[in-house]
Structure 1
Amino acid sequence: MPAALVSRVGIESEFLLYRGSAERSRRAGYRDLRPVSPHNLDYALDHPPSLSAFFGALRDALHQADAPAEAIKTEGAPGQIEVTWPYGDAMRACDTHAAHKHAVRAIAAQQRMTPTFMAAPETGIGSGLHFHVSLWRDGEPAFETAFGADLPEALQQSIAGLLDALPEMAPLYAPYPNSYRRFAPHSFAPTTFTWGYDNRTCAIRVAGRHKDTRLEVRLPGADANPYLALAAVLAGILHGITKHPLLPDPCIGDAYEADPLTGPVPRTLDEAVAAFVEGSLATHAFSPSVVQHYAHAARTEIDAHHGQVTDVDRARGFFHA
């Protein structure tokens, strides 16, 4: 009997950091906030002194929590930060992320800053929670690729399973109405359930080479619960390995312009809940009671937004209605 497959996981966590305390931001109605860096500092070596101090404190806190970061860097949006950790045990990856969020909020409060892990904190800005996943057996990578050869069977099945299952599991990786504002064209957040080789416009990206080959799942937003999001990812992989759904062709080029075989990412949490409840895959993976519980949680968020007058309502209707 062959040894069981074991997952290994690495997480990329993005968030935005603003100047001023959380109380000051609350009094301002979370409007007109000033990011700690005013420009795109993606991969920059030089940072404002306040941001460098935050990075140092966060690095020290994570090290003391036995959750040392692999890298802490600025991202593409003003004030946006990305933290990554070494690849390893799946549960430890989620535990580390939970400790990380506590550390970010505590250090930001000490330095009179305000972080947010919203998926879409501002119009045109999205923050993700990307999962890098691979399968191993007896200490050897099941996703290992060879130059010029077809993808290994376990990798093909995993991709197919994710593309088949994740459309029905969106409330587990995109749990709030705001989560769906991140899924915008040319945002580096996916809008279709596609896959490709080193293609960051796809939902599933095949990354790395040889023994380092892995899948990057780019659907979860920064607001996702990592335990639930990863549960959806692993359920999708298991579905692929056991049920063998058809693997569509990879997307070559811009996935935002592609004609997906599996349909678009849900536009709203309402759409996502309907697919979650009416489909069979989440129920089979987690049980009816789990699906009912998280569907209820999602509907609670929908109800909290229903009937609220927004800035967009005023901007589009104040003088035109």
Structure 2
Amino acid sequence: MNNQHAMPDADLERGAFSSFMDLKEAAEHGDIRTLLAAIPDMQGRLKGKRLAALPLLDEIDADANAPVAEACAYILATNINMDPLAGFDLTGWADGFRDIRARADWSTLRLLPYLPHTAVVLCDAVYADTAPVAIAPRQMLRAQLERLAELGYVPQVGLESEFLLYNRDGEPVMPHNMDYALDHPPHLSDFFRHLEDALFDAGIRVLAVKTEGQRGQIEVTFPYGPALEACDSYVLYKQTVKHLAVRHGMLASFMAAPATGVGSGLHAHLSLLREGEPAFATTSPRDLPTEAMRHSIAGLLAAMPHLALLYAPYPNSYKRYGAYSFAPKYMNWGIDNRGCAIRVTGHGQGTHLENRLPGADTNPYLGIAATIASIAYGLRDKPNLPPVSLGDAYTDQTSPSVPWDLSAALASFASSSLANDLFGQDVVRHYTRAAEAELAEHRRMVTDIERELLDRA
């Protein structure tokens, strides 16, 4: 193994931190010198500060729940380019872009094996009075988990991530379709080994890594676990992928549609536990979905037109959807049918749902929050379950279409009484403003297609 891939702190077992005191002991011994305090932002990226570990830990020793850092609130009120924007209730020029606090969730503490002497902790955004920032993605998911728990259910989530790898020249790292291949070129095998080792050493468990059907496309599958933990692991995984790709002379893209005819998803596999038992379990592959599953599917499909904005937040997101793309065209459901928006899959105790609407650009906290909110709505209000889609899901014109673009999704979200009921007016206003900003920027930009007509105008 190349030295740059080796664990920088040989005396530490990666991913072994279990408490604030573990971290402090490692800092006192000099094993950990830097702590990344990270707030997941609206786009699912990690924003925060590199903190000197020992001085910080000495300062907050008496109160491990104290905020560990401050940050400009605009990190939760901006676009993908990090432009300061007006029009958000959270902050803006009217209050001079005030600060929010980062309160560490020490249960998320992990070592980062690819950065020497460095650990990371995910933080919740709070106000000066320590009240949570309701529009923060992590808080939005936590609120939906609490609502589902009130109905007696606990979700288990497994994410399935797709992304594209490019060489420095902008070409995909694979010259052709290598779906399910095991004869990967050496440079790709080296990247996989580095990624798998880094994730394992950070305590992020992976079920499988495979090459996909598009040139340069990779799929990484994660095991089932608690919903918040699944999303926490995912945002750290995504940062790891991007970091290691650069080290290997590559670029990793999590765009939903990085090229015409190419789409990458973030499929969400989900089941429910009730009193510790799987609520979707069947005894035979021929069995109909359980009552809990039927209500869950009905809720997902009824809410999907209202919440598409949370699954697909950018103009580019909607270029992934289309016929025979392995992304849904209609909001329908089917049994082991990858053309549907909601797929019933697995068998026996492992029977579960797969939400195939989220793209690779979906913020996992928002996508899972929307999924859980919809399921809770189905279990509580019991909307009618549409007929199952049989055969070719792309010809199922009896089901509502996935929105054609962000403006259509925005119109449905902004005016939706259901979205307001599930998430509250503050959240709806905030993410409406975010989508408006993305659309305004997209409409302002001159595209490559237009530039191709330079000599014809």
Q: Give TM-score scaled by structure 1 length.
A: 0.93
Counterpart code for 1:95 = D
**CA 1:232–1:110: 2 relative to 1, 3 Å:** same
Separation in 1 of the partners of 2:349 and 2:194? Answer: 34
Shift of residue 220 of structure 1? Answer: 0.4
> Which residue of the partner structure matches residue 107 of structure 1?
244
**2:372 is the counterpart of 1:222:** no
2:342 touches 2:356 (CA, 8 Å); kept in 1? yes
1:167 touches 1:265 (CA, 8 Å); kept in 2? yes
> Which residue of the partner structure matches residue 175 of structure 1?
313
Q: In the TM superposition, what are the counterparts of 1:20-169 in structure 2 within 5 Å? A: 20=168, 33-147=170-284, 148-169=286-307
Shift of residue 39 of structure 1? Answer: 0.9
Separation in 2 of the partners of 1:226 and 1:122? Answer: 22
Counterpart code for 1:108 = A
**2:154 is the counterpart of 1:11:** no
Aligned to 1:107, what secondary structure does the other structure show?
Answer: helix
Shift of residue 146 of structure 1? Answer: 2.9
Separation in 1 of the partners of 2:444 and 2:234? Answer: 34
Aligned to 1:101, what secondary structure does the other structure show?
Answer: helix
Q: Which runs of 5+ in 1 are unaligned?
A: 26-32
**2:344 is the counterpart of 1:202:** no
Q: Percent sequence identity over matched residues?
A: 52
1:157-213 deviation line (CA, Å, top 9, x unaligned): 000000000111111110000000000211000011000000000000000111110
Among candidates 400, 404, 407, match of residue 270 of structure 1: 407
**CA 1:259–1:110: 2 relative to 1, 3 Å:** same
1:129-161 deviation line (CA, Å, top 9, x unaligned): 000000011221100123344321000000000
Counterpart code for 1:18 = Y
Aligned to 2:444, what secondary structure does the other structure show?
Answer: coil
2:151 touches 2:376 (CA, 8 Å); kept in 1? no
Aligned to 1:69, what secondary structure does the other structure show?
Answer: coil
Larger mean Cα displacement after TM superposition, 303-312 or 290-299: 303-312
Separation in 2 of the partners of 1:215 and 1:318? Answer: 51
Shift of residue 253 of structure 1? Answer: 1.2
Shift of residue 260 of structure 1? Answer: 2.8
Separation in 2 of the partners of 1:307 and 1:4? Answer: 48
Shift of residue 313 of structure 1? Answer: 2.7
Rg larger in structure:
2
Separation in 2 of the partners of 1:276 and 1:105? Answer: 31
Separation in 1 of the partners of 2:429 and 2:325? Answer: 32
Shift of residue 307 of structure 1? Answer: 2.8
Larger mean Cα displacement after TM superposition, 299-308 or 11-20: 299-308
Among candidates 178, 191, 195, match of residue 329 of structure 2: 191
Counterpart code for 1:280 = S
Shift of residue 314 of structure 1? Answer: 4.1
Counterpart code for 1:45 = L
Counterpart code for 2:154 = V
Separation in 2 of the partners of 1:221 and 1:236? Answer: 18
> Which residue of the partner structure matches residue 259 of structure 1?
397
Counterpart code for 1:304 = E
Larger mean Cα displacement after TM superposition, 239-248 or 139-148: 139-148
Aligned to 1:248, what secondary structure does the other structure show?
Answer: coil
Counterpart code for 1:34 = E
> Which residue of the partner structure matches residue 6 of structure 2?
none
Aligned to 1:306, what secondary structure does the other structure show?
Answer: helix
Shift of residue 85 of structure 1? Answer: 1.0
1:3 touches 1:138 (CA, 8 Å); kept in 2? no
Shift of residue 318 of structure 1? Answer: 5.8
1:217-242 deviation line (CA, Å, top 9, x unaligned): 00000001000000000011011000
1:65 touches 1:99 (CA, 8 Å); kept in 2? no
Separation in 1 of the partners of 2:178 and 2:430? Answer: 41
Among candidates 428, 432, 439, match of residue 295 of structure 1: 432
**CA 1:187–1:3: 2 relative to 1, 3 Å:** closer
1:271-304 deviation line (CA, Å, top 9, x unaligned): 0010001111111111001000011111111111
Separation in 2 of the partners of 1:125 and 1:316? Answer: 24
Shift of residue 315 of structure 1? Answer: 4.5
Q: In the TM superposition, what are the counterparts of 1:300-311 in structure 2 within 5 Å? A: 300-311=437-448
1:145 touches 1:151 (CA, 8 Å); kept in 2? yes
